[in-house]
Structure 1
Amino acid sequence: MTATSAERPSLDETVLSGLSPDLVPGVSVEVVAQAPSTNALVVERARAGAPEGLVVVTEHQTAGRGRLDRTWETPPRSALTFSVLLRPTAPTRSWPWLPLLAGYAVDKALKAAGFRAGVKWPNDVLIGDRKVAGILVERIETDQGPCAVVGIGINVGLGADELPVPTATSLAIEADGGAVPDRTALLVDVLASLRESYDAWQAGGDLAGMRLAESYADACVTVGREVRVDLPDGSVLTGMATAIDPSGHLVVAGPERQVAVGAGDVVHVRAADGHGAS
Structure 2
Amino acid sequence: MTPRDDADRSRSRWSDLDRPPLNATALRRGLVRPGGLWREVDVVQRTGSTNSDLVARAAAGRATEGTVLVAEEQHAARGRLDRRWTAPARSGLFCSVLLTPAEVPVARWGWLPLLTGVAVATGLSRAAGVDTALKWPNDLLVTVGGEERKAGGILAERAGDGVVVGIGVNVTLRADELPVPHAGSLALAGAISTDRDPLLRAVLRSLEEWYGRWRAAGGDPGPSGLQEAYAAGCATLGRTVRAELPGGTDLAGEAVAVDGDGRLVLATEDGVRAPVGAGDIVHLRPA
1:118 aligns with: 133
Amino acid at match of 2:89: P
The structure that has the greater radius of gyration is 2
Distance 2:197 2:262 in 1: 30
Q: Is the 8 A contact 1:201 1:209 kept in 2?
A: no
Query: 1:233 aligned to 2:247?
Result: yes
Give identity over the alignment, percent. 47
The CA deviation at 1:99 is: 0.8
The CA deviation at 1:23 is: 10
User: Where in structure 2 are the equivalents of 1:149-164 lying within 5 Å?
Assistant: 149-164=164-179
1:72 aligns with: 85
1:43 aligns with: 55
1:18 aligns with: 29
The CA deviation at 1:206 is: 8.3
Give 3-state SS (helix, strand or coil) of 1:166's partner. Answer: coil
Query: 1:137 aligned to 2:152?
Result: no
| Structure 1 stretches of at least 4 aligned residues deviating more than 6 Å after TM superposition | none
2:162 aligns with: 147
Q: Is the 8 A contact 2:153 2:169 kept in 1?
A: yes
CA deviation profile, 1:159-190 (whole Å, cap 9, x unmatched): 01111221110111111xx6432101111100
User: Where in structure 2 are the equivalents of 1:228-267 lying within 5 Å?
Assistant: 228-256=242-270, 257-262=272-277, 265-266=278-279
- My pick for the range that moved more, 195-204 or 20-29, is 20-29
1:173 aligns with: 188
Amino acid at match of 2:53: L
Q: Is the 8 A contact 1:117 1:125 kept in 2?
A: yes
- Change beyond 3 A, Cα 1:190–1:24: farther
The CA deviation at 1:258 is: 0.3
Give 3-state SS (helix, strand or coil) of 2:167's partner. Answer: strand
- Change beyond 3 A, Cα 1:207–1:63: closer
User: Where in structure 2 are the equivalents of 1:203-218 lying within 5 Å?
Assistant: 203-205=216-218, 208-209=221-222, 211-218=225-232
The CA deviation at 1:114 is: 1.2
- Change beyond 3 A, Cα 1:230–1:207: closer
Return the match for 2:112 from 98, 103, 120.
98
